[in-house]
């Protein structure tokens, strides 16, 4: 049973245009506390614009967004680290902005760094001296050290190798299950969406609009790699998925053949 007064984010009839170009049309969805909603669709379909509107990074001109979460943070495809700050200072930056004393914020930053596999030497380096994967670890640590109720993710795994991608996703799964973290997740990767989401919103393009919603009832921490693969293969046979991503039947046939061998 849902907790009374549980936090939520809800978009209602949300539309947006840049000049004469209509980007989003009449978007409706709700994200409840402790849940993950992903938005999938082809590139250029308005996914990032939708996230920016929900996060308050863009002004809303049509429709509305209700957000009762008390705190939120971001992780993007580009880590967006401050180049003149060490990894430790980047992680602690949000804590500094909140007025937390230096000793305490460094202690919190070191503690969260360990969860992301960042060691002492890594924390003294500047972003230019870190690998792409290490920079993304710092980015996630910077977001989660704030202990947000809501996390906005904009394709943060797309440039990572498979091993690191799965490692970071597993850390997120622990945060979701243990701390009831809520996530609005933008991705073009159906397998990522299946692994992490309670609900998948399929966003078609020109203009961006929700054409189908998929719900996954299996708890996030109970989804094996085989489950993720099987559910992704099923999604790739759905007519709305094929139409939205402009897939060919050859791709879905190959996936089904691989599943049987």
For 41-58, the pLDDT digits (tens) are 988 889 999 999 999 999
What pLDDT, in 10s, does the model give residues 25-44? 999 999 999 999 999 998 88
Residues 48 and 116 in one domain: no
Burial pattern 211-225, b for ≥16 Cβ within 10 A else e, equals ebebebeeebeebee
**CATH assignment of the domain containing 153:** 3.40.50.300
Q: Taking the chain (261 residues) in consecutive chunks of 10 residues, what is each chunk's mean pLDDT? A: 74 94 95 96 91 94 95 91 95 92 93 89 94 92 94 90 89 90 94 96 94 95 94 93 78 52 53
CB 160, CB 168: distance < 8 Å: yes
Cβ neighbours, 10 Å, residue 153: 24
Residues 137 and 106 in one domain: yes
Q: pTM value?
A: 0.89
Residues 143 and 153 in one domain: no
In this structure, is residue 7 part of a structural domain? Answer: no
In this structure, is residue 229 part of a structural domain? Answer: yes
Which among 212, 185, 216, 186 is positioned nearest to 199, based on CA atoms? 216
Residues 153 and 215 in one domain: yes
In this structure, is residue 3 part of a structural domain? Answer: no
Number of structural domains, the chain?
A: 2
What's the pLDDT score for residue 2?
44
Taking the mean position of all CA atoms in its chain, how far away is CA 148? 13
In this structure, is residue 70 part of a structural domain? Answer: no
Residues 187 and 236 in one domain: yes
Residues 155 and 261 in one domain: yes
Domain with 122, as residue range(s), is 80-147
What's the pLDDT score for residue 1?
42
Residues 112 and 164 in one domain: no
Residues 251 and 186 in one domain: yes
Residues 132 and 193 in one domain: no
In this structure, is residue 210 part of a structural domain? Answer: yes
What's the pLDDT score for residue 191?
93
């Amino acid at each position: 049973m849902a907790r009374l007064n549980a936090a939520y984010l809800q978009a209602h009839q949300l539309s947006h245009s840049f000049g004469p170009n209509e980007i989003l049309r009449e978007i409706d969805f709700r994200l409840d506390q402790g849940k993950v909603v992903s938005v999938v669709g082809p590139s250029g379909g308005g996914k990032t614009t939708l996230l920016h509107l929900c996060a308050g990074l863009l002004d809303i001109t049509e429709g509305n967004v209700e957000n009762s979460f008390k705190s939120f943070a971001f992780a993007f495809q580009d880590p967006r680290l401050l180049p003149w700050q060490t990894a430790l200072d980047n992680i602690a930056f949000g804590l500094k902005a909140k007025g937390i004393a230096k000793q305490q914020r460094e202690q919190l930053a070191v503690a969260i760094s360990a969860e992301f596999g960042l060691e002492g030497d890594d924390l003294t380096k500047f972003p230019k001296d870190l690998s792409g994967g290490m920079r993304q670890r710092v980015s996630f640590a910077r977001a989660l050290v704030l202990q947000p109720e809501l996390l906005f993710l904009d394709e943060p795994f797309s440039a990572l190798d498979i091993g690191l991608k799965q490692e970071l996703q597993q850390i997120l799964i622990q945060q979701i299950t243990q701390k009831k973290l809520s996530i609005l997740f933008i991705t073009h990767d159906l397998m990522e969406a299946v692994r992490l989401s309670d609900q998948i919103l399929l966003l078609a393009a020109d203009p961006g609009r929700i054409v189908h919603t998929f719900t996954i009832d299996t708890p996030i921490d109970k989804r094996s790699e085989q489950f993720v693969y099987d559910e992704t293969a099923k999604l790739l046979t759905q007519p709305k998925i094929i139409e939205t991503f402009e897939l060919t039947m050859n791709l879905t046939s190959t996936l089904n053949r691989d599943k049987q061998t």
